Amino acid sequence: MQQVRDNLFLKREDLIGEGISGNKYRKLKYNILEAKRLGYTKIVTFGGAYSNHILAASYIKKKHDIEVVGVIRGEELLTKVKENPTLLQAQKNGMQFYFVTREQYRNKASESFIIELKEKFGEFYLLPEGGTNPLAIKGCEEILTKETKQYDYICCPVGTGGTLAGLINSSELKQHVIGFSALKGDFLSKEVATLVTKVNWSINCDYHFGGYAKVTKELIDFLNEFKTVTGITLDPIYNGKMMFGIYDLLKKDFFPKNTSILAIHTGGLQSIDGMNLLLQKKGLPLINK
Ligand X SMILES: *Cc1c(COP(=O)(O)O)cnc(C)c1O
| Residue ranges that bind ligand X, judged by CB under 6 A | 22-24, 52-53, 130, 132, 157-164, 235, 238, 266-268
- Shortest gap between Cβ of 189 and ligand X (angstroms)? 13
As a whole number of angstroms, the distance between CA 84 and CA 38 comes to 34
Question: Which of 94, 96, 40 lies closest to 70 in space, CA to CA?
Answer: 96
Pairing type for strands 201-204 and 261-265 reads: unpaired
- Shortest gap between Cβ of 19 and ligand X (angstroms)? 13
- Shortest gap between Cβ of 39 and ligand X (angstroms)? 27
Please say which residue, 116 or 191, places its beta carbon nearer to ligand X. Answer: 191
Which residues are within 8 A (CB) of 58 and not within 5 positions of it... i.e. 6 or more apart?
68, 70, 89, 90, 91, 93, 94, 95
Please say which residue, 53 or 61, places its beta carbon nearer to ligand X. Answer: 53
As a whole number of angstroms, the distance between CA 167 and CA 200 comes to 11
Q: What does the CA dihedral 15, 256, 236, 266 come to, rounded to 10 degrees? A: 30
Coil, helix or strand for 180?
Answer: strand
Please say which residue, 121 or 212, places its beta carbon nearer to ligand X. Answer: 212
Strand segments, DSSP code E, in 215-288 are: 261-265
Q: How far is CA 207 from CA 94, 117, 142, 144, 250, in A?
A: 36, 37, 26, 24, 14
Q: What does the CA dihedral 231, 209, 268, 185 come to, rounded to 10 degrees? A: 140
Q: Supply φ then ψ for residue 73, to 5 degrees.
A: -75, 120
DSSP tally for the chain: helices H, then strands E: 11, 10
- Shortest gap between Cβ of 22 and ligand X (angstroms)? 5
- Shortest gap between Cβ of 283 and ligand X (angstroms)? 26
Please say which residue, 63 or 116, places its beta carbon nearer to ligand X. Answer: 63
Please say which residue, 93 or 132, places its beta carbon nearer to ligand X. Answer: 132
- Shortest gap between Cβ of 52 and ligand X (angstroms)? 3
Please say which residue, 2 or 174, places its beta carbon nearer to ligand X. Answer: 2
- Shortest gap between Cβ of 167 and ligand X (angstroms)? 10
Please say which residue, 161 or 274, places its beta carbon nearer to ligand X. Answer: 161
Please say which residue, 66 or 269, places its beta carbon nearer to ligand X. Answer: 269
Question: Which of 57, 65, 56 lies closest to 22 in space, CA to CA?
Answer: 56
- Shortest gap between Cβ of 177 and ligand X (angstroms)? 12
